[in-house]
Structure formats: C-alpha cells, structure tokens
Chain A
C-alpha cells in the first residue's frame, strides 16, 4: 500500500494558471481527432453548448476545489483499484475527471441498438460452438482457431444454459473516431468498472447540481436492480425467489471494491469460495442458521479458478464440485464458463460475420480493422508496419503486454517483433486509432485527452442497458492507453433524454 495518502491527481503542466483566462481559452483542438465537445475551436456541438457556457464562466479555482473534494471522498470511501506490480499490489484511487462527457439521445440510441445486436449474436455464437458448431461447419470461422483458444472450455459441451444466455453481463469497449463508434473489445468474462460509473455519477451530481438538472441526464442509479432482475431471470426452473450470491476472489482482487459495492447495491451476499460447498449436487453457503441453498452465482472469479475439480486443480479460490452442480442444472453461474472464447482478440475480427450469419443483419457498430498474425499475410503486414500499428496479445487484457507502435522506440519495436516471430498466433495488430478527445481538467484549465467508453449490457430473458458508461480517460497528454491498470482515469458520461 502507498505510504502516503494519494494526492490530487491533476495532470501536471508546466505553466501557472493565469487568472484572467477563461476556462477553455487554452484548449487546442487537433483536427485529426474527433472532439467530444467542440465542432471547431470556438464552436461546441449543440448538445454541449450549455455545459460549455456554464464551465466557461466558472473559475478554474472553483472547479479544481470541487475536483479535490471528489477525490477526498473517493479515498474515504475506499474506491480503489489495485495495480499489480512486481512488488505486489498497490492500492490507488481511480482518478476522476470532473468534466462530464455528453452524448445526445440519438447517438446513444445507435450505440444501444448496436450493443444489443452484438450481444445477441455473441450469445448465439457461444450456444453454437458449445453445441452443433454450425458456424464452423459452414466455414465462417476457422475450426482450429476456435478450438485452440485456451478459453474454449470443452467441459461446456452440451451443458444446457438457461435461455441460451452464456453472457449475462458484458462491458463493451467503444471508441469514437471521425468515422463514428467502433467496438474495440468485447469483455465477456468478468468485466469491471460499473461501480466507477456509479461513483463518478454520484460525484458529478454533488458537484454540478444545477447543471445536471438542466441537462435532463438519463438516470443510471437503478443499475443494481437491473442486474438483480437479470440474475433472477436466470434462476433454475421452478425457483421464483432464488438465492443469488456474488462470488469474489477476496480483498486482494483488484476490483474488490466493486464486488462489495454491487453486493450491497443488490442486497445479496458477497461470498468467497470457502463460504460455499457442494453436497449431493447442490451448492450451499454456510450461514449462521445452517447451510442455505444457492441458486444463482454472479461470479467475479475467472473460469480457471472456479472449481479445482473441473479447471485448475491448484485453485484455492473456487468451490470443489461447483461445475458438477452446474452441469446438473442445480445452480446457475453467470457469466457461464467458457465465454472467454468469444472475446478472444483473434476471434474478435469475426464478430461482424457472426452478426450477419446468425441474425442476417448488418452490424450497427463496426469493428477496428485487425490483422491476425497467425495468418501469413497478417504477420507480414504487421512486421512491415510496426511503427503504425498497435499490437496486442490475443489472450491479454488490461493493457498489459501491448505495443503502441508510434510511441515505441525502434529498440522496443525490434524486441517485440522478435516475440511476434516466435509465436505469431499469439498476436494481432490494429492500426493506431485516432481516439476521440474530451476536455479534462488540468492545472491550466481544460485540455483535450483521449477517451473511450465502456457501457454495460445485461441479458437474462431480455436485454437491459443502463444509459451510461464508465468513460475512461488517458490522463497523460497524447497517451492512447486508457486502462485503469495503466494509470487511466474515469469520467462521467451524460446521456441526454430524447
């Protein structure tokens, strides 16, 4: 843990603020990026005008003071995220940037329809590959690609999943370029960030009370009840009032705060593997009144660690026999084991084809052009164009182990190229995207920073979305990496009512 209490995380700038300047006077727009607030250097988008006018009349000092208050309350609340480093885990607050990002109703509508469509196709895909595998026999996807994914769980073959819902909760990363919104990644395993979405909203409502009211921002506060509804729908047949629990790896997990927060929001028990046991094919939790049957497990433990008898035998976090009870249909695990195969970075390029194949529709949200290094053409292109590309490991997440070509030194690129040649199938590359920018608070007033967006989609019997998202910000000027584990921060996203 940090020795000192964290300080204000305002990105440092070399100049002192000049009192007479207005808040946006130093804001420079770079036309190669889409700007979330401005059409041109002094003309905001229509839906941002009110915010722009209000902020421009506020003093920089008063906004900074609000920002500091918000950060203090985050520390007191313990809204922290652990970052894994060589010397163990460090507990940090997720930096919050107080300036909201605004989406108009129409834009949100497109995103919402696109996300619903995508999740529907992904669930059909999972049901297919763990069942008849038509998509493989029809050669839409290479068979060996799917079966060689480590996240493909052969144990899931033939398991009956309620309502065909493999993914009941996903957090899709979206980025915006001049060409509109693109899906950067589908997170279908144990996506996190929703508690920060809600915490950022709470901080914004406190800081900008009037502004918030004037904007008619759509509410996201019912997220907990949406999630609980979704999990209730997944209950085994005949159980109307299921016992739902949230399974956490424990306090050393980077997202423990979120697990605690969600259990509290939903009014369900937060359990660890050692609180559960399997007896005669049913799952029970130890309560002070005796063993109590558990019907639905919202798990925040990775597949590998769920059940030492079915997956990794050295897991201490899981519940021996859990998968057996699951196969019998006596308990539901959400998300289902084995969903990771669908968000693998080398399966990702095929999602638009899945949408066309299963739904017979054109994808509403595009993909980022991706080169698979397992294919000779892709490998050659990647190696030839490293300085323009972002290269990622297929199984990686959290921004670990990726190369941002334009920002890397020639030596770093050469070393990375060596890694790629050793095991090409482990890598994919994408063009470096011009991620959109939004104004962020710095010590000199507002400055543009790159942002992305992670909305959370829920699916039980039906699909539900809270009109909001965890909007991630790269706090370092010019940086494109927004992951919380890489020092990114968060912003509130305001979706306006139609």
Chain B
C-alpha cells in the first residue's frame, strides 16, 4: 500500500478518536453544569484540561467561586476553546476537518460511504459556532457529533478490505486511545491522591466517559472506589475503552502490518507496554500513587515513541532503509 495512503488512514484514525474523546468529555461536563455546585464545575474543568494535557487560554483558569454567573460564562469560553477554537489543533472541529482533509486526499482507497459520512459532518460543522449550540441543549451537539464519528467507524468496520489500510486505521485509533486514556486517568488520580477524601460522582462520571459504568457495576459494585475504577480502566482486557484493550488492538494491527515488513521496534514497544500491565499491575503502593502514575507515564511516553517509530518505518523512510531494491 502506498505510504501516503496508509499515513492518511492512520491519521484519520487518530483525529477521529481525538474528536470522539473530546465529545464525550464535553457532553459529560455539560451535564455537570445542569445541577452541580460551582466548586465541582471548577474542579472538573481543571481536570478536563489536565486530562487533555492542555492549558486554558491565558495559561490558567481564573476562578471566582463566589460568582456563579462568572463560572458559567467561563464554561462557555472553555467549551468554545475545546470545540471550535481555530488555533487549537485538537479542537473538535479542527480534528474533524483534518480527518476529512486526509480522507479527501485518499478518497480513491476508502469506501464511498466513509467519505460521504465525513464530508457531510464537515460541511455541517464548518459554519457552526459555539453560540449556535450553546443556548439550545449543547449536550446534544456533542452526542450528535459523536454519533457521526461512530457511524464512520461502523461503516469502515462493515466495508473495508482488511489490508494494511484497515490496520493502519486501527493502529491510529488505538494509539490515540491508549494515550488519551492514560492522560485522563492520571488527571483523575492527581485530583484525588490516595489517602485524601474523594468524590464518588467524579469517578462515576469517569466510568461513564469511558463507556464503562455498567460493566464496572457488574464486575465490582455500585461503589465507585478509586482503586477499582483505575484498575478497571487500565487493565480490563474486555473493556473497549481500557488501556489494556487498546494495547492488544495495537499489537494485532502491528502483527498484521508486519507480514509485509517487520516492525521490530514498534512491536517491541507495544509488547513492553502490554507486559507492564500484564505482569506489573496492580503495583499500588498503599501510601502514595507514584507507582501507578509512573506506569501511566510509561504508557504515554511509549505511545509517543511508537508513533515516531511507525512514521519512520512505514511512511517516511530513507532509500537505504527500504527492504526491496
């Protein structure tokens, strides 16, 4: 497969996963705006930004917890920043535009319906602004956008030929997912360090963001204990939004791609990440979170290196690194 096509699919996978993640976070946050106290909203915004590894405009959040109106106005600005801000490359609209731009370049190798789906989503979004969605149930906007992305994934799953193109799409999607999840879980642990009081509803909404609440309640109970929630989201092999699951999907994709050209270093990186979770987890120190957070940091760093490695091996290699000649 042409490297640029594979690269396009890989990036479509990454951008759409990022956009979907953003939609889920914001849909959840907007629910909080309906009935939660101001301190909660302030805390959750801070964590949301930490979970995306992004600084709010101006460098930090300026809170005024005595003024509810201020907090809500701030929410408007923050949601705009994460959804429509032209200068934020990770804003939802920019992610979808970038995915569509990639799709446009490689339309000849993706299904027609995949293109229609992305193109229509883009045409609808390109003229939408925060004021268009804010007054009329903004949560629905995020749910709808999330739906479109899932429709795209569904079509891809239904019709794509399982060649390298498919595997690169999956690879992009799950590398992004593993990285986003590691950052998000870490941000939650940072808010409620071990030994300090925690707020159960925050952990519940974390599970909800990860589509894991029902599965969690079957596995554990209706008590949202931080240690259990973290354990579930990191190591459950069956949960589609767990780090362990994302890593196993990365390995599957790499194995399939390696048939044509071995990905020695990438395979090693993926294997090592999985081994960390399979054999070193849980390694929770009862007194502090260092070990847990360390593991999450390793996952994040390894994802970055994996990405660089994939770029260098498959997309942008030198003549002398090519296996055939």
Residues of A within 8 A of B (CB): 3, 5, 76-78, 250-251, 260-261, 263-264, 269-272, 274-275, 277, 279, 284-292
Contact = CB atoms under 8 A, between A and B. Distances in A.
A172 to B, nearest CB: 27
Contacts of B317: 286
4 A-B pairs with the lowest CB-CB distances in the bound complex, closest first: A289-B260, A264-B108, A286-B3, A291-B322
Interface centre among B4, B101, B319 (most CB of A within 10 A): B4
A76 B1 contact: no
Interface centre among A275, A289, A291 (most CB of B within 10 A): A289
Contacts of B3: 275, 286-288
Interface centre among A76, A277, A287 (most CB of B within 10 A): A287
Contacts of A270: 2, 106, 108
A291 B324 contact: yes
A277 B261 CA distance: 20
18 contacts: A3-B127, A77-B112, A78-B104, A78-B115, A264-B108, A264-B109, A269-B2, A270-B2, A279-B325, A286-B2, A286-B3, A287-B3, A288-B1, A288-B168, A288-B314, A289-B323, A290-B324, A291-B322
A269 to B, nearest CB: 5
Contacts of B164: 288-289
Interface centre among B2, B105, B123 (most CB of A within 10 A): B2
A271 B8 CA distance: 13
B324 A263 contact: no
Given A288-B257, A289-B260, 10 more contacts: A76-B119, A78-B115, A260-B107, A263-B108, A272-B4, A284-B325, A285-B2, A286-B3, A286-B315, A290-B324
A77 B260 CA distance: 33
B2 A275 contact: yes
Nearest to B120: A76
Given A76-B120, A251-B105, A264-B108, A289 B115 contact: no
Contact of A287 (B2, B108, B123, B319): B2
B70 interface: no
B169 to A, nearest CB: 13
B243 interface: no
A272 B106 CA distance: 11
Given A78-B115, A260-B107, A288 B6 contact: yes
Q: Is the interface of B mostly helix, strand, loop or mixed?
A: helix
Contacts of A250: 105
Given A264-B108, A289-B261, A78 B4 contact: no
Contacts of A3: 127
A261 B314 CA distance: 26
A260 B116 CA distance: 15
B325 A288 contact: no
Contacts of A290: 261, 322-325
Contacts of A5: 123
Interface string B235-262: 0000000000000000000000100110
Nearest to B260: A289
Contacts of B2: 269-271, 275, 285-288
A277 B116 CA distance: 33
Interface string B258-278: 001100000000000000000
Interface residues of B, number: 33
Interface in B100-148: 101, 104-109, 112, 115-116, 119-120, 123, 127
Nearest to B119: A78
Given A3-B127, A76-B120, A275-B3, A289 B105 contact: no
Contacts of B261: 288-290
Contacts of A285: 2
A290 B314 CA distance: 8
Contacts of A291: 319, 322, 324-325
A289 B120 CA distance: 33
A381 B275 CA distance: 86
A383 B115 CA distance: 53
Contacts of B257: 288
Contacts of A263: 108
Contacts of A251: 101, 104-105
B234 to A, nearest CB: 31
Contacts of A78: 104, 107, 115, 119
A420 B241 CA distance: 70
Contacts of A288: 1-3, 6, 164, 168, 257, 260-261, 314-315
Nearest to A250: B105
B132 to A, nearest CB: 15
Nearest to A280: B325
Contacts of A277: 319
B300 to A, nearest CB: 26
A352 B295 CA distance: 79
Contacts of A271: 2, 4
Nearest to A264: B108
A292 B115 contact: no
Contacts of A274: 4
Interface centre among A261, A263, A285, A291 (most CB of B within 10 A): A291
A286 B2 CA distance: 6
Nearest to B263: A288
A426 B39 CA distance: 76
Interface string B49-84: 000000000000000000000000000000000000
A292 to B, nearest CB: 7
B129 to A, nearest CB: 13
Interface centre among A5, A261, A269, A277 (most CB of B within 10 A): A269
A264 B110 CA distance: 10
A80 B108 CA distance: 15
Contacts of B323: 289-290
Contacts of B314: 288
B138 to A, nearest CB: 24
B109 to A, nearest CB: 8
Nearest to B317: A286
Interface string B1-40: 1111110000000000000000000000000000000000
Contacts of A279: 319, 325
A122 B314 CA distance: 44
Contact of B116 (A76, A284, A286, A287): A76
Contacts of A261: 108
Contacts of B104: 78, 251
A3 B127 CA distance: 8
Interface centre among B1, B116, B257, B325 (most CB of A within 10 A): B325
